[in-house]
Chains A and B, each alone.
Chain A
Amino acid sequence: MFDLIIIGGGHAGCEAAWISCQFNLKVALITSPHSGLASTPCNPAIGGVGKGQVVREIDALGGLMGILADRAGIQYRTLNESKGYAVQSTRVQVDKDLYTKNAEMLLSELGNLSIINKMVRSIHKNQLDFEVSTNDGESYRAKKIIVTTGTFLNGKLHTGEIQSDGGRINCEKSIGLNDLFKLIKTTPARFKTGTPPRLDKNTINYTVLEPQESDIGTRNFHYNNHKYDRSVTQVSCYLTKTNSNTLSIIRKNKERSPIFNGQIKGIGPRYCPSIEDKAFRYLDKDIHHVFIEPEGLNLATIYPNGISTSLPKDVQLEFIRTINGLEKAEILVHGYAVEYDVVDTTELSRTMEYKSCVGLYFAGQVCGTSGYEEAAGQGIIAGINASLELLGKPSLILDRNDSYIGVMIEDLVSNKRDEPYRLFTARSENRLYVREDNTILRMNQYRKQLGLFSQIDQFQDSFIAEVAILEKLVNETMFYSNENNKEYFLQMKYGPLENNISFKELLKRPEVDPVVVLTNETLLNGCLFSSDSIRTVAIATKYEGYINRATAETAKMVKLSKKAIHWQSLVDSQNISFECKLRIKSIKPETFGQLQRMEGIRPATLAYVAGNIV
């Protein structure tokens, strides 16, 4: 008898297993026998705009992803470097073998985790617990279940005319969600995602390609790692482009494309279109970026990012060879698309629990998201909440105003999705605040709620104390407008010093880089602060005014949107239309903001509810 069984060993499942084991629970991770843990079957990269924040949020909660990414990181980049600190994000190209090996090693070291390599055949809910049966006839019981099956539910693969069953290449599919669990609702439309062909790295002419080196100044993800030392050798990625020949080959083969000949019925993500999508949606555009990304230090495969496809194998090779540098490329694994079942996330609460089935949680791509980071973010929240529930503690709900995980989960449970969900920074109303540099300040309150007191909590406490000291220093130090200082300001290019100004005012000046200034000034004055706390304080100071302004502008809305509402009393109300009641009943919104973001809620209903909670 387990406290918790997690079904699926991908990013969501591994994260859920890792965190729940920290609560000293008896946990089992059931995963299909032939696929490695936390594998990266598509783009071997962790992080990205908005997603880098998620990885750091997971790390600050005590999660696994940052540790694994650092151990396997072969090329680091800071995205949006020129666009301001608030929108900078980290992306790490990982060695997919190392990533999986480290995940397996770290998880196998956990004494209270059993890893079971079997296919699940069925799940039954009993009065008090769940019973999971596997293909070999065994059955396992647990008080709570987390389902993290990714694209494996009724997975169907497409490469040109060839179709096969499977969760991904060379992996057996799982039984359909509806067979597994009669009471679970899936979205009516299946989702689709795709991946490009993998190329043999020795058949590419790198000399004609533009290299992108690993950035030595990008901070590692995990708090406890050295900030800039890398675990493994760093390599470069390369950039090339499609051309009119490439696109005309694709356009010629429209009839053989499963996406366009009706073979694939699932809905793919608009933000990650296949090369076929690009070819037919943008008829006047022939040049598209292709990033040549190594999948590992010792692996022979290259991931050509930007040309995901499910065209027939012969067409894939033909168009690949039109691309600069890829004229002699050989394909080792062909591109394919996968269609899969997706659970209706409006049936979930913000703890990731299926509302009408107590003790059953869902997380990851099975919830209709795309991306390893999104999956891991849901996995850790599901794992934490299942554990807290088992221990009889209050649930952990992340606010959308201070975390991207909060944004994602609220978006997921508030609206039915009609395409795979990916995080964009545009989805956050509070982008200037939800940054990578202040992750610990944002997440510490949530980490504290877990009630686990370990090394990470001590680290966060001391970091926050250091930040407080530095903030005090910045607030209270003054530059007096005397001749010495005036000349110093001129010399340092800090601008004029007509009046006395505080250190804080200096950092806010648009002409200075606050991080550089704060680093220099503290060093010159013999104060030793960590570069992390300097970044946090300097960047927070720079944006303070803008954040306050934006907050003031939306204060009224935010205040109202945070108010709790009792959906049950709304359903009983005489004053709300039948249609709205149906939606409220199915989504069960907990706050006014959530009600507001739901589709199909009439202004009259909002006016009524607002009028009654204010």
Chain B
Amino acid sequence: MNFYIDESPIIACSTGSQSNTAIAVIRLSGFTDLFILQSFFSFNLTLVRPRFSHLTNLQFQDTIFDNILMVFFPKEASFTGENVLELSVHGNQLNIQNILNLFINHADFRLAHPGEFSYRALKNKKLTLSQVEGLDLLLNANSNLMLSQGLDILQGELHNQYTQLLDSFLQVKAAIEISIDFSDDIGDEISEKLFFEKFNDFFKRIDTLHSRTQGNFSSLLSPEIVLVGQTNAGKSSLFNLLVKHNRSIVSNIPGTTRDYISESLFIDGTNFNLVDTAGIRDSVDQIETIGINRSMEILARSFSKILVINPFETTDIYLKKFSKIHFDLILFSHADLPDFYNRLSVLDLSMLSADFLFSTSFVSGSIGPIDSSWFKLGPMGPSFSHQDGSIGPSDLLTSSGSIEPLVKTFLAEKYSRAISKGPILLERHRSCINKIYSLSLLINNNYNNLGDVAVLSSEINILSNYLSDLIGVLSPDDVLNSIFANFCIGK
């Protein structure tokens, strides 16, 4: 972290240093004055217009290095909050290296550390902490979701939500301070009303943000679909059907798939990771036991859980293992066998819970609705909300057809439903928001038991600590400014 305190000017090639390209952009930041760089340019720097592009030779002591375009951003309006110069040079790696060395050896620039431009933007209050995190997400995204969330936090909807949350909070804090410091001017009744009004607005905002942190969102960044079930129930058959080639070893010998096997599955622009776990069973084989434990771990953090049951080879004792897990799909295999429903009726299925149940036949590759009058079900899960706003069972529930398209449609729908709520993916943001929400909820529900305004104000102060963790530092002056800007104070 040493560079965090060094403020010397920095330089870096911002377009990568791996291969030769037509154009590369070199960025310089933190120099005190543009004119001290005159010796490097043929263009007269006194004629430079901020944010305009100028064609110039890059030169030093009679040697011309390159013919380039330069743009100058003065510190008042630059990314880092410092003077910034962007040079578009020819993107030969050797050329880039020479130019970097030129500024490092003949001016007091040093090579920037990774992320240092953003760090300086943060330091100079050009970006908030949360925005820098968004930038990081944006630059390192490996899915469309990460990309769009990165943009969102950087300057999009989420950034607006955060700043509005802060504004709203400042008004809450102002309202409480008014009721203590200025109640003579404003009157008790009005100041209490004011507080409720402002707090309700704030609570609505944090409630909305909080709902966007609910659920297992790390699973959305690289969503995993996990297949579990008894050894040889047909998981590998399903796996192969979905990825359309034989990857899992399919055999009749129980325990063939020992550890888990995974394969990416691209559905509607999203990259899923399909995981075939080891058959979960009581094993004496040590290696397999390890595999089974891992299956349970993978299951816990997965995006979608599918249980495959062969009713002819399972027992209530086995099914009980899954009594605490909610599945998206439970597939009963071997539906083509004549005793299928008789077998089902023997099993105690009431301990299982799932959104959907299907009967399947891997022999024919088909899937169909299951006649649930044959057995007692555990909690049956949510109905889809349809596009017209009505709520009811999905059409899928009663569909029948080929396994592959049906399962894929189901997964795509579940995914688009999950991200339509605009989930907040960054763990730090989620934990800050949860802290703010819990305390706000407490204040909201216990307002009348909090004793008095003084205690309330103390709780609001604690809330402001949490909020500054998320967004940035609040000072008493911010609150006073908010008071004076919005309310007529003073006798």
Contact = CB atoms under 8 A, between A and B. Distances in A.
Interface of A: 49-50, 79-80, 82-87, 269-273, 277-278, 281-282, 285, 288-291, 305-306, 424-427, 429, 431-432, 510, 542-543, 546-547, 549-550, 553-554, 575-577, 597, 602-605, 607-608
Contacts of A281: 488
B490 A271 contact: yes
Contacts of A306: 490-491
Contacts of B177: 424-426
Contacts of A543: 454-455
A607 B451 CA distance: 39
A289 B489 contact: no
Interface in B352-393: none
B180 A432 contact: no
B181 interface: yes
Contacts of B181: 49-50, 424-426
A272 to B, nearest CB: 5
A84 B459 CA distance: 14
Interface in B461-491: 461-462, 465, 475-476, 479-480, 484, 488-491
B183 A271 contact: no
Contact of A271 (B123, B179, B489): B489
B169 to A, nearest CB: 14
A425 B5 contact: no
Interface of B: 4-7, 122-124, 177, 179-185, 187-188, 449-455, 457-459, 461-462, 465, 475-476, 479-480, 484, 488-491
Given A424-B181, A426-B480, A550-B462, A607 B5 contact: yes
Contacts of B465: 553-554
Contacts of B188: 82
Given A49-B181, A79-B183, A84-B455, A604 B488 contact: no
A182 to B, nearest CB: 33
A576 B6 CA distance: 8
28 contacts: A49-B180, A79-B183, A80-B453, A83-B183, A84-B451, A85-B454, A86-B452, A87-B452, A87-B454, A271-B182, A271-B484, A273-B488, A278-B488, A289-B184, A289-B187, A306-B490, A425-B181, A426-B180, A426-B479, A427-B476, A429-B461, A432-B458, A510-B450, A553-B465, A554-B465, A577-B7, A604-B5, A604-B7
B475 to A, nearest CB: 7
B296 to A, nearest CB: 38
Contacts of B6: 575
Nearest to B191: A83
A291 B491 CA distance: 8
B458 A87 contact: no
B475 A431 contact: no
Contact of B489 (A79, A273, A575): A273
Contacts of B185: 289
A597 B454 contact: no
Given A83-B183, A84-B454, A424-B181, A278 B449 contact: no
Given A432-B454, A550-B461, A553-B462, A426 B490 contact: no
Contacts of A50: 181
Nearest to A415: B477
Given A49-B180, A273-B490, A424-B480, A608 B5 contact: yes
Given A87-B454, A424-B177, 14 more contacts: A49-B183, A87-B180, A270-B484, A271-B489, A288-B488, A289-B185, A289-B491, A306-B491, A425-B181, A542-B451, A575-B5, A603-B123, A607-B4, A608-B4
A289 B179 CA distance: 16
B458 A550 contact: yes
A427 B7 CA distance: 33
A503 B124 CA distance: 54
Q: Which of A278, A289, A290 has the most CB of B within 10 A?
A: A289
A82 B7 CA distance: 53
A34 B254 CA distance: 108
Contacts of A282: 488
A192 B98 CA distance: 61
Contacts of B475: 597
A114 B4 CA distance: 59
Given A271-B490, A427-B476, A575-B5, A80 B183 contact: yes
Contacts of A605: 5
Nearest to B484: A270
A274 B449 CA distance: 39
Contacts of B459: 546
Contacts of A575: 5-6
Contact of B454 (A83, A270, A272, A602): A83
Contacts of A431: 180, 454, 457-458
A272 B455 contact: no
A510 B451 contact: yes
Contacts of B455: 84, 86, 432, 543, 546
Contacts of A84: 451-455
Given A425-B180, A427-B476, A432-B455, A604 B489 contact: no
Contacts of B183: 49, 79-80, 83
A85 B458 CA distance: 13
B452 A604 contact: no
A173 to B, nearest CB: 26
B452 A85 contact: yes
B319 to A, nearest CB: 44
A212 B177 CA distance: 24
Contacts of A291: 491
A576 B4 CA distance: 11
Given A82-B188, A272-B490, A426 B451 contact: no
Contacts of B122: 603
A50 B484 CA distance: 18
A75 to B, nearest CB: 14
B4 A83 contact: no
B453 A83 contact: yes
A607 B122 CA distance: 13
Contacts of B187: 289
Contacts of A285: 488
A602 B484 contact: no
Contacts of A83: 179-180, 183, 452-454
A45 to B, nearest CB: 10
Contacts of A510: 449-451
Nearest to B174: A426
Contacts of A85: 452, 454
A608 B459 CA distance: 31
Contacts of A424: 177, 181, 480
A582 to B, nearest CB: 14
Contacts of A426: 177, 180-181, 476, 479-480
A345 B452 CA distance: 36
Contacts of A432: 454-455, 458
A278 B490 contact: yes
A557 B457 CA distance: 19
A549 B491 CA distance: 35
Contacts of A271: 182, 484, 489-490
A465 to B, nearest CB: 28
Contact of A604 (B123, B457, B476, B490): B123
Contacts of A429: 461
Contacts of B458: 431-432, 546-547, 549-550
A561 to B, nearest CB: 13
Contacts of A607: 4-5
A547 B181 CA distance: 20
A510 B458 CA distance: 16
A271 to B, nearest CB: 5
Most-contacted residue by chain B among A277, A543, A553, A603 (CB, 10 A): A603
A608 B182 CA distance: 39
B470 to A, nearest CB: 15
Nearest to A288: B488
A76 to B, nearest CB: 15
Nearest 3 A/B pairs, CB to CB:
A84-B452, A86-B454, A84-B454
